[in-house]
Structure 1
Amino acid sequence: MGESFGRYRLGNDEEVMKYVTAANVACGFHAGDPIVMRNTVKLAKKYNVSVGAHPGFQDLRGFGRRMIEVTTEELFNDLIYQLGALDAFLKVEGLKMTHVSPHGKLDPLVSYEEEYTETYLEAIKEYNPELIIIAEEKSILYKKAKAFGFEVATVAYPDLKYDSKGDIVIERVKKAVNPIEVAQRAISIVKYHKIKTIEGNEIKIHGEMLCFHGDSPNAIEVLEVVR
């Protein structure tokens, strides 16, 4: 959430806030600006929604959904910068950051490339070791975060598609999704711990947190049906 920028508006954050318990808020790199970040934090406070950081690559043009080559030093400092930016607005509103969830193509990098996984966790631990790490259960990030001593919450994405390897299929531009199908996937994840892949088979999946994307054209309709 908080992924608008300047004159460009993306999603309807206030409506989305009415349906969720936690929000991943952009920190100014892939999206968001100071005004958007402040307003998003205010909305979270209004609707009693917990706020986590949603750091990404410094890639406004690609919305953080393109792989960007970075060194571990660059990643470390980019993370500190983004966490600090969002946390400042939370502090002003008397709120605390609760969790961290990587955005777009940063997600697979820190989830499955061990050197970057460790850098990601080291940066967060230095900033605030009490933050909850959001990770897919099958990821290196999940295992490493536990080893680092973090509280970890597993995540699943009912509004995205999965392949047979259990990887999410990332879209550069979000398309409208079928609300009924998304709701069925959400139920399948929560009740049966499985989901149907794009190849047609079923795989095991666990999600203590179900993540929905606010930039989907029909995000509100999806949330209404799922709720």
Structure 2
Amino acid sequence: MVVIDINCDMGESFGNYTMGNDAAVMPYITSANIAGGFHAGDPHVMDETVALAAEHGVNVGIHPGLPDIMGFGRRTMDATPAEVRDYVVYQLGALRAVAECHDVTFQHVKPHGAMYSMLSESPDHARAVMEAILEVDDDLVYLATDSNIYEVTEEYDDLRAIFEGYVDLEYNADRSLIIEQEKDSRDPDLVAERFVDIATEGQVEAANGETIDVPAESICIHGDGPNPVELLEAIQDAADDHGIETAPLSEIA
């Protein structure tokens, strides 16, 4: 039987600023990547988002970003491996405490934005973060967003890692993602087809028509797009039709 996780980036509101569709999306996912206050989120948003996850039986993980709220963590920063390590540990600790307050399983780490790009481009930065995760809790799962990072995770026998795929974004032939400046509505049928292809075959069609390998055990859906609930309902129907089970990362890794 095929089992796959469905994750979503959440808790990215801040103060009076609302981002995403967390309440509408949460019932359809199995893992929530929650911002830790550096690129988005704040203590109140973190608490509200974890409480929402508890209500729907969703496991949580930290979605750590660089300290750049104005740039939403997407701007490049000159940070050493040790500094990035500390950013991750700080945010991990904060969200883990909130999860304990709500008796929610804290299970994973998935870096955000420019931090993810930094780890993808620099094995030294990636190793610093991974080693810190092992020091904090070697049961935590590292959710690897691309093959460069996933290859580094394989250096560590004790690190639980899962490769992540995307169905609401296009891939280039080299497996890099095509990131749009503005999010448009996605075709639910196409997204559901990609979900089934990745879950059952570990492959998906790239933008140029080439079939590429995406051996993912977790699928990310962006909750801040125009129609995430419609996409998730289509995915749920496709999973039922093809006998695909969904489960949180902690049950897969």
Same fold (TM over 0.5): yes
| Alignment of 1:142 onto 2:150 | yes
Query: Match for 1:217: what amino acid?
Result: P
- RMSD (Å) for aligned C-alpha atoms: 1.6
Q: Is the 8 A contact 1:22 1:50 kept in 2?
A: yes
Distance 1:173 1:28, change over 3 A: farther
Q: Deviations over 1:76-116 (max 9, x none)?
A: 11111110111111111122310111112222321341111
State the alpha-carbon separation in 2 of the partners of residues 174 and 35 from structure 1.
27
- How many equivalent residue pairs? 226
Q: Which has the higher strand share?
A: 2
Unaligned runs of 5+ in 1: none
**TM-score normalised according to structure 1 size:** 0.93
Q: Which residue of 2 aligns with 1:42?
A: 51
Residue 47 of structure 1 deviates from its aligned partner by 0.4
State the alpha-carbon separation in 2 of the partners of residues 58 and 174 from structure 1.
24
Distance 1:136 1:79, change over 3 A: closer
Q: Which residue of 2 aligns with 1:11?
A: 20
Shifted more, 127-136 versus 37-46: the winner is 127-136
Q: Is the 8 A contact 1:11 1:217 kept in 2?
A: no
Residue 137 of structure 1 deviates from its aligned partner by 6.5
Q: Which residue of 1 aligns with 2:244?
A: none
Q: Which has the higher contact order (CA 8 A, sep 6+)?
A: 2
State the alpha-carbon separation in 1 of the partners of residues 169 and 22 from structure 2.
19
Residue 136 of structure 1 deviates from its aligned partner by 4.5
Shifted more, 22-31 versus 162-171: the winner is 162-171
State the alpha-carbon separation in 1 of the partners of residues 189 and 208 from structure 2.
20
Distance 1:179 1:67, change over 3 A: farther
Shifted more, 25-34 versus 185-194: the winner is 185-194
Unaligned runs of 5+ in 2: 1-9, 237-253
State the alpha-carbon separation in 2 of the partners of residues 151 and 93 from structure 1.
24
Q: Which residue of 2 aligns with 1:100?
A: 109
Query: Match for 1:159: what amino acid?
Result: D
Q: Which residue of 1 aligns with 2:135?
A: 126
Query: Match for 2:192: what amino acid?
Result: A
% identical aligned pairs: 39
Aligned partner (choices 68, 71, 89) of residue 77 of structure 2: 68
Q: Structure 1 stretches (4+) deviating beyond 4 angstroms?
A: none
State the alpha-carbon separation in 1 of the partners of residues 122 and 182 from structure 2.
25
State the alpha-carbon separation in 2 of the partners of residues 190 and 103 from structure 1.
23
Q: Is the 8 A contact 1:104 1:170 kept in 2?
A: no
State the alpha-carbon separation in 2 of the partners of residues 221 and 146 from structure 1.
36
State the alpha-carbon separation in 1 of the partners of residues 90 and 179 from structure 2.
25
SS at match of 1:213: coil
Q: Which residue of 2 aligns with 1:197?
A: 206
Q: Is the 8 A contact 1:25 1:37 kept in 2?
A: yes
State the alpha-carbon separation in 2 of the partners of residues 173 and 97 from structure 1.
32
Query: Match for 2:155: what amino acid?
Result: A
Q: Which residue of 1 aligns with 2:245?
A: none
Q: Is the 8 A contact 1:137 1:206 kept in 2?
A: no
